[in-house]
Amino acid sequence: MIGPANARPVRTAGLVALNLLGVVAFAWPFVLPRLLPGGSLHERDAPVFLLAMVVCLAGVVFLDLDRGIGPKTVALLGVLGAAMVALRLPGFVAGFSAMFIVVLVGGNAFGPSFGFLLGAVGTFASGLFIGGLGPWLPFQMISVGWVGLGAGLLPRGGMRVRIASLAAYGFVTGYLFGAVMNLWSWPFVARGSTIGWMPGGGLVANLRHYAAYYAATSAVWDTFRAVGNAMMVLAIGAPLLRTLDRAAVRMRLDVQATGREAPPAEDR
């Protein structure tokens, strides 16, 4: 059994493992240019990647259930994940989906680790509900999780400062999310073209090819996401953050910098 004293290191190790899986899955065309996963569009490696992610996520959530106020956090994760599902059901406007507002405010209110889990779990659940199961799903889980993680790392000040920084962050990540997500398919769909992946081309050449590929195929599409994210934060971000901040106080969560749970009131 894992006791409360060593649950946090194990939980942290699970989160680190998830992020390392994501880095390897997205970056291999640049760092391992001669390695081509078997099958087209990750048909063989994506299921293994998804299984590893689900196991790590389940382990982290299980540890949260065994940690004092952890069940409240897990319940909140479920509620916000369900909100992501509901907001994703109407579909996308080009690259924009309203579900990103939940990830942005949830990560900002409850911290980076919660934001990462929310993005990954909510994306997995929405994929199940809308039939979005495919080799792209584990990559979406990681990339949306990174959006929530970054939102939790933004500086915390007054509400105006938080909204301004979160809107700017949402705008930038509108493009970064698309740039990262394209990596799951770029080595396959554009291989052999003048903007495609070159197994022996080296880091600089492949980065140049990918930049051209992104500009030609996704930049305009991702502008809808960038603008939509910023507008959603500016329009409804403040009341959502106030609501989640009150929930954090009631649940005794310390998210000032790390998203760590605070000790019970009697221990303060």
How far, in Å, CA of 43 to CA of 41, rounded?
6
How many domains are contained in the chain? Answer: 1
Stretch among 57-71, 150-164, 244-258 having the lowest mean pLDDT: 57-71
Residue at 259 is within a domain:
no
Residue at 175 is within a domain:
yes
Q: What is the chain's mean pLDDT, rounded?
A: 81
**pLDDT of 213:** 93
Judged against a pLDDT cut of 80, whether residue 111 lies above it is answered with yes
Q: Which of the two residues, 61 and 185, has the higher pLDDT score?
A: 185
**pLDDT of 99:** 94
Residue at 262 is within a domain:
no
Bridge partners of residue 261, in order along the sequence: 253
Stretch among 53-57, 63-67, 125-129, 204-208 having the lowest mean pLDDT: 63-67
* DSSP collapsed to 3 states, the chain: CCCHHHHHHHHHHHHHHHHHHHHHHHHHHHHCCCCCCCCHHHCCHHHHHHHHHHHHHHHHHHHHHCCCCHHHHHHHHHHHHHHHHHHHCCCCECCECCHHHHHHHHHHHHCHHHHHHHHHHHHHHHHHHHCCCCCCHHHHHHHHHHHHHHHHCCCCCCHHHHHHHHHHHHHHHHHHHHHHHHHHCHHHHCCCCCCCCCCCCHHHHHHHHHHHHHHHHCHHHHHHHHHHHHHHHHHHHHHHHHHHHHHHHHCCECCCCCCCECCCHHHC
The contacts of residue 257 (CB under 8 Å, 6+ apart) are 111, 156
Domain range holding 29? 4-252
Look up residue 54 and give its amino acid: V
Digit-coded pLDDT (tens) for 12-56 = 777 787 788 888 878 877 776 555 554 455 556 666 776 777 777
Residue at 164 is within a domain:
yes
Stretch among 159-163, 236-240, 247-251 having the lowest mean pLDDT: 247-251
Judged against a pLDDT cut of 60, whether residue 6 lies above it is answered with no
**pLDDT of 203:** 82
Residue at 153 is within a domain:
yes
Place of tokens 């980065």: 207
Q: Which of the two residues, 22 and 190, has the higher pLDDT score?
A: 22
**pLDDT of 253:** 60
The residue-averaged pLDDT of 152-177 equals: 95
Residue at 266 is within a domain:
no
How far, in Å, CA of 220 to CA of 175, rounded?
9
Residue at 190 is within a domain:
yes
Judged against a pLDDT cut of 70, whether residue 236 lies above it is answered with yes
**pLDDT of 256:** 44
* Separation of CA 1 from chain center: 30
Residue at 45 is within a domain:
yes
**CA-angle at 141, arms to 38 and 198, nearest 5°:** 40
Q: Are 83 and 102 in contact (CB under 8 A)?
A: yes
Judged against a pLDDT cut of 80, whether residue 201 lies above it is answered with no
Judged against a pLDDT cut of 90, whether residue 150 lies above it is answered with yes
Place of tokens 């698309």: 178
